[in-house]
Amino acid sequence: MSQKFVEQLKEILGPNGWLEGEDTESYLTDMFGKQGETPLVARPDTTEQVSEVVKICAANNVAIIPQGGNTNVCRMAIPPENKSAVILSMARMNKIIDIDPECSTITAEAGCFVQSLQDYAREHNRLFSPDWGARGSAMIGGAVATNGGGQNVFRYGTTREQVLGMEVVLPDGQIWDGMRALRKDNSGYDLKQLFIGSEGTLGIITKLVFKLHPNQGQHCSLFGILTGMSELMNYLELAQKVGGDKLTAFELLPGLGVEKALNRYPALQRPLDQKSDWYVLVRFSDWENVEELVTTLFEQGFEAGILANAVMSQNLEQENNLWEIRDQMIPTQYFKSRLLKWDVSVPISKITHFLDSAENLVREHQQAAIIYVTGHVGDGNIHYTVIPEGEGDPGFDELCNRIYQDVDELVWSLGGSIAAEHGVGQLLKSRVRNQKSDVEYSMMQQLRHIFDPQGIMNPGKLIDS
Ligand SMILES: Cc1cc2nc3c(=O)[nH]c(=O)nc-3n(C[C@H](O)[C@H](O)[C@H](O)COP(=O)(O)OP(=O)(O)OC[C@H]3O[C@@H](n4cnc5c(N)ncnc54)[C@H](O)[C@@H]3O)c2cc1C
């Protein structure tokens, strides 16, 4: 990359619009550590600047990595190992442009934080539904580019289902204005869908229009222990029967994770004295008080012999405490040795079958491995982590590969996916190849090539170009 190229970028971006040298370190570092190089982190503050930066990169055949909050968990938003690329940070494009309560829509630049849209929508008595632990640092452009899931999917769908329109800078610098706020538009291919979940490989999302939902400000949750894991689906069914569309989340928490969270964060309150290998966390939400409904779920759970022990949140503080515990189930903060990870999606009816079979497979390979599971049960999404013993021992890598292979194949045999909501990035690229037929993989490659024939957009992620 010539000095002239870098100077051209700086001129377009202005003095506050770029970083270099030591200041780029954090942009090259994700949860797995530092990787790659960058001549410059571009921090444009208009779509036109994004377009100009892309045009210069395309003319010089330089790779571009779109970056939002860099909270992804699949190595998606930094340059490939030993490679250099311009990082295009959306951090300065952080304006909420408009909220339209009549149409229940919100329009914003892609660098806004997820939480900023949640808060702004709430002030207007509306709900922006994407929500997960990284809400304060993940950006809406990143949320769309990964099709983020989280805790509200069961009731409102993934981020994809919230997107009505978008503006995108294409890999040749052209600007596509698809900022429509329509619920219906069958005027041809729905191009915005291609960019949702594209992980920065097809273009740079600069603005978005989302649909909002009525703000169901009343929440009440139940935190309970089941009489056995075989009752998991029965309790989900009961919660659906009792709550109907007021059931907004049904989560599974590992006992090990709850203990680790309570130890690490002393401000968290222990919800139940009794300890268990598993807990369920069920939430109902509505405009009106939902306590009575949760009480019914509580009572009927015991009557049906499904619940062994449970508590309900009695006030906002207790409600927040339960969900803060849920947010802290992230395994990387508790285990420092090698983690084997699956973001499993299976048909909901097959969750317990998956859990039993996967445990058997892992134990066949290593009896002592720690199995750490948390999940959005209502969506059939299980975050499955195995921590084998013996890192550094001869044969350890081989053991890990065998476990990966067996559990991947189990997931596929159940009609599932190993990339439910976190996406693919660099981390799952080679494993996801085996989930796709040649026909499907080739369609994806052709699509990528149509948008980005030079292969400059986020190389090394999602699929081989
Ligand atoms: C504590 C914690 C909890 C989490 N919980 C969940 C969860 O429950 N569910 C879930 O789905 N995820 C979860 N995540 C993962 C992460 O927050 C999401 O993947 C999020 O959507 C990433 O947003 P980001 O702005 O950080 O994007 P980044 O990490 O910066 O980028 C992600 C990908 O999107 C691309 N990209 C970013 N911005 C743009 C843009 N404007 N245009 C085009 N491409 C772009 C990047 O190139 C990259 O490929 C969690 C992460 C953490 C740290």
* For ligand 1, atom 50: residue with the closest CA: 134
Residue 114 contacts by C-beta under 8 Å, 6 or more apart in sequence? 128, 130, 131, 132, 134, 135, 136, 138, 139, 140, 143, 148
Domain assignment present for residue 122? The answer is yes
Whether the CB-CB separation of 320 and 220 falls below 8 Å is answered with no
Closest of 287, 302, 298, 209 to residue 248, by C-alpha: 287
Dist. CA 74 → ligand 1 center (Å)? 9
Encoded tokens for 223: 């935190």
Encoded tokens for 397: 């890598």
pLDDT at 217: 84
Whether the CB-CB separation of 330 and 341 falls below 8 Å is answered with no
Element (H, E) at 59: helix 47-59
* For ligand 1, atom 52: residue with the closest CA: 134
**C-alpha triplet 258, 259, 265: angle, nearest 5°:** 85
Dist. CA 33 → ligand 1 center (Å)? 16
Whether the CB-CB separation of 2 and 57 falls below 8 Å is answered with no
Give CA–CA dist 154/140, Å, rounded: 20
Indicate if 101 and 208 belong to the same structural domain.
Answer: yes
Q: State the residue range of the domain holding 21.
A: 3-89
Indicate if 84 and 113 belong to the same structural domain.
Answer: no
Q: Which amino acid is at 295?
A: T
Give CA–CA dist 432/436, Å, rounded: 7
Query: In ligand 1, which atom is closest to the CA atom of 458?
Result: 47
Q: Which amino acid is at 244?
A: G
Domain boundary among 298, 327, 356: 327
Element (H, E) at 235: helix 232-243
Domain assignment present for residue 110? The answer is yes
Query: In ligand 1, which atom is closest to the CA atom of 206?
Result: 41
Dist. CA 422 → ligand 1 center (Å)? 8
Indicate if 81 and 44 belong to the same structural domain.
Answer: yes
Domain assignment present for residue 139? The answer is yes
Q: Tell me the best of 30, 53, 54, 67 to mutate to test the pocket of ligand 1, counting ligand atoms within 8 Å of each CB and taking the most.
A: 67
Indicate if 250 and 351 belong to the same structural domain.
Answer: no
Q: Which amino acid is at 438?
A: D
Give CA–CA dist 78/425, Å, rounded: 10
Query: In ligand 1, which atom is closest to the CA atom of 141?
Result: 41
Give CA–CA dist 15/5, Å, rounded: 16
Dist. CA 452 → ligand 1 center (Å)? 22
What DSSP designation does 187 have? S
Indicate if 271 and 346 belong to the same structural domain.
Answer: no
Number of separate domains in the chain: 4
Indicate if 83 and 184 belong to the same structural domain.
Answer: no
Query: In ligand 1, which atom is closest to the CA atom of 330?
Result: 1
Domain assignment present for residue 452? The answer is no
Q: Tell me the best of 87, 89, 132 to mutate to test the pocket of ligand 1, counting ligand atoms within 8 Å of each CB and taking the most.
A: 132
Indicate if 297 and 259 belong to the same structural domain.
Answer: yes
Q: Tell me the best of 72, 86, 462 to mutate to test the pocket of ligand 1, counting ligand atoms within 8 Å of each CB and taking the most.
A: 72
* For ligand 1, atom 36: residue with the closest CA: 142
Give CA–CA dist 254/130, Å, rounded: 23
Domain assignment present for residue 440? The answer is no
Dist. CA 15 → ligand 1 center (Å)? 28
Closest of 217, 200, 213 to residue 139, by C-alpha: 200
Task: Compute how many other C-beta atoms are within 10 angstroms of the C-beta atom of residue 176.
Answer: 16
In the beta sheet, which residues pair with residue 34? 29
SS3 16: coil
Provide the CATH number for the domain around residue 40. Answer: 3.30.43.10
Query: In ligand 1, which atom is closest to the CA atom of 66?
Result: 47
Indicate if 210 and 222 belong to the same structural domain.
Answer: no
Give CA–CA dist 96/74, Å, rounded: 28
Provide the CATH number for the domain around residue 280. Answer: 3.30.70.2190
Domain assignment present for residue 153? The answer is yes
Query: In ligand 1, which atom is closest to the CA atom of 461?
Result: 49
Indicate if 203 and 100 belong to the same structural domain.
Answer: yes
Give CA–CA dist 210/160, Å, rounded: 9
Dist. CA 89 → ligand 1 center (Å)? 13
* For ligand 1, atom 49: residue with the closest CA: 199
pLDDT at 135: 97
Domain assignment present for residue 449? The answer is no
**Residue 377: phi, psi to the nearest 5?**
-60, -40
Q: Looking up tokens 């690490």, which residue turns up?
A: 264
Domain assignment present for residue 446? The answer is no
Judged by phi (left if over 0) then psi (alpha if -120 to 50, else beta), residue 43 lies in beta
Dist. CA 235 → ligand 1 center (Å)? 31
Q: Which amino acid is at 331?
A: P
Dist. CA 302 → ligand 1 center (Å)? 39
Q: Which amino acid is at 395?
A: G
Indicate if 270 and 224 belong to the same structural domain.
Answer: yes
Spans of the chain, pLDDT less than 50: none
Domain boundary among 38, 72, 89: 89
Give CA–CA dist 462/79, Å, rounded: 13
Indicate if 296 and 308 belong to the same structural domain.
Answer: yes
Domain boundary among 161, 185, 214: 214
Q: What is the pLDDT of residues 132-182, one digit of tens each?
A: 999 999 999 999 999 999 989 999 999 999 999 999 999 999 999 999 999
Helices 47-59 and 3-13, packing angle to 10 deg: 170
In the beta sheet, which residues pair with residue 65? 87
The pairing of beta strand 218-226 with beta strand 163-169: unpaired
Whether the CB-CB separation of 309 and 222 falls below 8 Å is answered with no
Whether the CB-CB separation of 290 and 246 falls below 8 Å is answered with yes
List residues near ligand 1 (CB under 6 A): 65-73, 76-77, 90, 110, 132-134, 138-139, 141-143, 145-146, 148-150, 199-200, 204-205, 330, 421-422, 458, 461
Provide the CATH number for the domain around residue 379. Answer: 3.30.70.2740
Indicate if 237 and 288 belong to the same structural domain.
Answer: yes
